[in-house]
Amino acid sequence: MRPSELKNYPLNAAQAAAYLDISLGHLYNLIVRGQAPRRVKYGRLLRFAPLDLDAWIADRCVLATPDL
């Protein structure tokens, strides 16, 4: 990946955790377990795209159904 392509992944790990409303530690735990949103590792940095974070959230949404 070229540095110019990083514009598609503007969020670092701390920003991604804030976007997801989870702690940074929880995000790292998700990464270790292989359950984290798609990301790019550029050198030592992890970068996230808001579209990937939104897709990750959408994949985990469960709609509540009213009790009948």
- Give the domain extent around 44: 3-55
Q: Is residue 45 part of a domain?
A: yes
Looking at residue 68, its pLDDT comes to 61
- Other beta carbons within 10 angstroms of residue 26's beta carbon come to 12
Continuous segment of H or E residues that includes residue 48 = strand 45-48
pLDDT at res. 30: 97
- What does the alpha-carbon distance between residue 51 and residue 19 come to, in Å, rounded to a whole number? 11
Q: What is the pLDDT along the chain (68 residues), one digit of tens a residue?
A: 777 777 889 999 999 999 999 999 999 999 999 999 999 998 899 999 999 999 999 999 888 777 76
pLDDT at 36: 96
Q: How confident is the model at residue 65, as a pLDDT?
A: 79
* Counted domains in the chain: 1
Taking alpha carbons only, the member of 31, 33, 4, 1 closest to residue 17 is 31
Residue 67 lies in a domain: no
Is beta strand 45-48 parallel, antiparallel or unpaired with respect to 11-12? antiparallel
Q: Which of 17, 22, 21 is nearest to 46 (CA)?
A: 17
